Structure 1
Amino acid sequence: MRTASLGLGTYRIRPSALNEAVARAATSPADAWIDTAPNYLDGQAQSLLAPVLARHPILVSTKVGCLTDQAIKDALSNRALTIEEAEHSHCLSASYVHWQCARNRTELGRDRLDLVFAHNPEHTAGDAYEALSDAFTALEAEAAAGTLTAYGVATWDGFDTGTLTIPTLHQLASEAAGTEQHHLRAIQLPVSLVTATAFTQAMDEEGPISQAAALGWQVYASAPLFGGELPRLATLELTALLAPHLTTAQACLLAAASCPGVTRILLSASTRAHWAEAQAALRSPAIPTSTLRKVLDVLAAT
């Protein structure tokens, strides 16, 4: 049993720390990864990343779906978005997905996107699956045109609420591609000792993480420290049970990285010390499933 790889998330990172954070992530070229979105850092994340990515050609995942004020203005001007769609601040229509993918390439300074997530489809104004069907059709066309390698679905609570299921996502992608050899290759969801529904299901080889892994998809764990709150919530006894040789933050991070089926942990680490601590934690042996199960059972009972 191995732990997940470490990737740099940019949702909560300080803009002033971005260049150095990317450079640190690039020191592990075999598994270096950056996760971003056009709405991160007040809509500036991709443009801020472009210069440093030009020096460090790291694989990047970005997103489509959530609208910024500037994107609404520009997409309306380019007729990629309707006024009705703009009112909801979220859109996965085919025309908008194509427009946003082109904008993502421009902002990131790349001709081809490595991975694009349909972002929080549970926030769409209508039926999430209808929206995803349109998005997948557009994303398959992008892949066919050579401007996209793969796509996925990133959600906060879509799997927990039952709005999304892996079998249905697989079916929608197959229909969009006309074959089961589609380009839907990843999901992103919160995995931590706090956001533990999918985590607990994975212990029993059930739920979205296990189902995605069975299809060979990548599973990206967001918010592994619950927005930085988890180290303050966890007890010393919990840390001792998980990994007594680590700090509380490291033990909680290693727990998420040890979840069966999770392939990458996304961490917004603005400082060299935090990144080094995370790297050290993930070099530790994975926490046994039996221990993870015991911890999750204890937490569920509190």
Structure 2
Amino acid sequence: MNVATTEATYNFAKKFSTYKDFYIKHNDLVFSKLGLGTFNKEPYKEENYVFHYIEGVKQAVKSGINLIDTASNYRYGQSEKEIGIALKELLDEKAVTREELIICSKGGFIQLDFPFPKNPYVWIDENILNANLATKEDIELDQHCMSADFIEWSCKKSLENMGVDCFDIYYLHNPEMQLQKLGTKTFLKKVESIFKRFEKMADMGLIKYYGVAVWNAFINEKGSAEHINLEDLVKVAQKVGGENHRFKYVQTPFNIAKTSIYTMLTQSVRGEDCTLLQAAHRLNIGVISSSSLLQMNLFKKSFKAETGYLLDPNMILENDIQLALHFCRSTPGIISSLFASKAPVHIKKNLEITKLKSAARANYDLMYRV
């Protein structure tokens, strides 16, 4: 089984002069504090298929990133396939080994195919319902499916797309989409069936660890329609996998404009209210943050001068994109923060922030008063 290992990820980090500050160990893996994401909104638009991520992935890895994140539905599977091409080229060049990279994908959304099928409803019937991977009741809004059989099928398809044997982390993708329809009790039973399958998939060598990747579940206030308490998920994992369960990671949005996981008491652990980051620490769950640049919506006006000074008092960084990424990588409690970029030149420029140490904790906390 080819997966990331402690020794290999540590050796990857040591190739770069900044390894003592830009890399962090969690469980038995060493992560780069920035990871490459491959989400692009509105996948049905033709413009999403006139570019590719291949050179961007290669540049990211050669610049020090060893965390690569995608999902089965990103650009109807094209993102996964392009990562697969990039990985093969990197391995053929001997620029990296598989064991040095932490490769992640997600299942839950119905991925369809590229080119887009003439009738997506027929595609769902033929590929999912008629194949007994799920029932109509498992599918929400013709786009999201929470059946264990579908999730396993989706994982295997993603592995094939990417040309790898095993995912280091595999996420259940945005399960909160079905929370309101199912109600909390039935929802958690559905999660239990999927976590049980994840444990079996780990035993089969398809995945090393599993997690949950969400959009609203951890950033909305308690009582909101899509709110999930992390402790409930951990209890489910303990029930199906025991104390050595493989539920180890969550992925959730965090950026300079959306700081809920650091500031809001959206969670409770053993009856005590806390932030998501505090809950994750107490429950031994690693946090990977997404949407570091808020799909570039952070930059409609320039950041305040005070923001730049607190994050970068020596004025080394050149633009607000770098500041936004530096903010995320400096956040205590986050293992790695994802950003998406297609152009190698932009990736190289963004990763110049690795020349800086993380912002001092005192300066970082002052950011919330600016």
TM-score class, shorter = 0.7 to 0.9
Q: Which of 211, 228, 245 is 2:316 aligned to?
A: 245
- Give me the whole-angstrom Cα distance separating, in 2, the residues matched to 1:286 and 1:279: 13
Matched to 1:20, the amino acid is E
Matched to 2:278, the amino acid is S
Aligned to 1:258: 330
Q: Which of 89, 95, 109 is 2:149 aligned to?
A: 95
Structure 1: 5+ residue stretches without partners: none
Tell me, yes or no, if the aligned pair for 2:76 and 2:112 is still in contact at 8 Å: no
The Cα of 1:137 is off from its aligned counterpart by 0.9
Matched to 1:239, the amino acid is G
Cα 1:297/1:236, change in 2 over 3 Å: closer
Aligned to 2:61: 26
Cα 1:115/1:269, change in 2 over 3 Å: same
Q: Are 1:180 and 2:243 an aligned pair? A: yes
The Cα of 1:95 is off from its aligned counterpart by 1.6
Matched to 1:173, the amino acid is A
- 182-191 vs 1-10, which moves further: 1-10
Percent of counterpart pairs with the same letter? 24
Q: Secondary structure of 2:182's match?
A: coil
Aligned to 2:6: none
Cα 1:215/1:87, change in 2 over 3 Å: closer
The Cα of 1:87 is off from its aligned counterpart by 4.8
- Give me the whole-angstrom Cα distance separating, in 1, the residues matched to 2:262 and 2:295: 17
Q: Which of 49, 66, 75 is 2:109 aligned to?
A: 66
Tell me, yes or no, if the aligned pair for 2:148 and 2:193 is still in contact at 8 Å: yes
1:156-189 deviation line (CA, Å, top 9, x unaligned): 1101224222222211111111x11110111111
- Give me the whole-angstrom Cα distance separating, in 2, the residues matched to 1:133 and 1:108: 27
Q: Which of 232, 255, 269 is 1:192 aligned to?
A: 255
Whichever of the two has the greater Rg, that structure is: 2
The Cα of 1:239 is off from its aligned counterpart by 1.9
Aligned to 1:168: 232
Tell me, yes or no, if the aligned pair for 2:108 and 2:151 is still in contact at 8 Å: yes
1:51-102 deviation line (CA, Å, top 9, x unaligned): 2222334431100111134573412232102123235321222122222122
Q: Secondary structure of 1:228's match?
A: helix
Aligned to 2:201: 142
Matched to 2:255, the amino acid is S
Tell me, yes or no, if the aligned pair for 1:2 and 1:258 is still in contact at 8 Å: no
Matched to 1:22, the amino acid is V
Structure 2: 5+ residue stretches without partners: 1-19, 23-31, 42-47, 91-97, 114-122, 266-272
The Cα of 1:9 is off from its aligned counterpart by 0.4
Q: Which of 98, 102, 105 is 2:159 aligned to?
A: 105
The two structures, once aligned, show a CA RMSD in angstroms of 2.4
- 179-188 vs 41-50, which moves further: 41-50
Name the structure, 1 or 2, with higher relative contact order (CA <8 Å, separation 6+). 1
Aligned to 2:182: 126
Aligned to 1:36: 70
Cα 1:117/1:239, change in 2 over 3 Å: same
Cα 1:137/1:234, change in 2 over 3 Å: farther
Cα 1:278/1:218, change in 2 over 3 Å: farther
- Using the size of structure 2 for normalisation, the TM-score is 0.73
- Using the size of structure 1 for normalisation, the TM-score is 0.88
